[in-house]
């Protein structure tokens, strides 16, 4: 089995290392190999030292990753409600509670016999009836 060497990731044509050093273009299909979709291929070429005009800081290839990192940094995942002073909200709530209103009909409630009795005595009276 013959070792083919480096092949084009687009058309699988055998590529010459000297040709890749000059420009990253496939002579068979004409594909520009300096694209993000061929990143694995390009990283292999960089790690093997085949191309010297390309590095891991190339903005054409790695610009999206930098944008993603900046976007992640801008995401604020803190909840502002955890840090707000809630005492002011409670003060407003206490001010808004109106204690002048009678929620129950107190006159009927007071007329009910047994309101002043102890609940155990009231239950005994109820059982006796």
73 is a domain residue: no
110 is a domain residue: no
126 is a domain residue: no
Residues 6+ away with beta carbon under 8 Å from 47: none
108 is a domain residue: no
Q: Give 110-125 pLDDT, tens digit per residue.
A: 666 656 667 777 777 7
The count of structural domains within the chain is 1
The gap from C-alpha 17 to its chain's centroid, in whole angstroms, comes to 43
Q: Is the pTM of this model over 0.85?
A: no
85 is a domain residue: no
93 is a domain residue: no
Q: Give 78-88 pLDDT, tens digit per residue.
A: 666 777 777 77
Give me the pLDDT at residue 112, please: 62
Distance CA 24, CA 42 (A): 9
Among residues 29, 18, 57, the alpha carbon closest in space to that of 6 is found at 18
Range of the domain at 35: 6-64
111 is a domain residue: no
Q: Give 1-52 pLDDT, tens digit per residue.
A: 345 688 888 888 888 888 888 888 888 888 888 887 888 888 888 888 888 7
- The count of other CB atoms within 10 Å of the CB of residue 61 is 18
Rg (CA), the chain: 41
1 is a domain residue: no
């Amino acid at each position: 089995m013959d070792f083919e060497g480096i092949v084009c990731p687009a058309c699988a044509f055998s590529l010459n290392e000297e040709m890749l050093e000059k420009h990253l273009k496939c002579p068979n299909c004409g594909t520009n190999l300096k694209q993000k979709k061929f990143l694995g291929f390009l990283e292999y070429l960089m790690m093997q030292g085949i191309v010297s005009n390309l590095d891991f800081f190339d903005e054409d290839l790695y610009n999206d990753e930098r944008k993603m990192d900046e976007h992640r940094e801008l995401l604020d995942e803190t909840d502002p409600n955890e840090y707000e002073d809630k005492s002011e909200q409670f003060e407003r709530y206490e001010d808004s509670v109106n204690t002048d209103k009678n929620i129950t009909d107190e006159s009927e409630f007071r007329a009910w016999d047994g309101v002043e009795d102890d609940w155990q005595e009231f239950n005994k009276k109820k059982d006796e009836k």
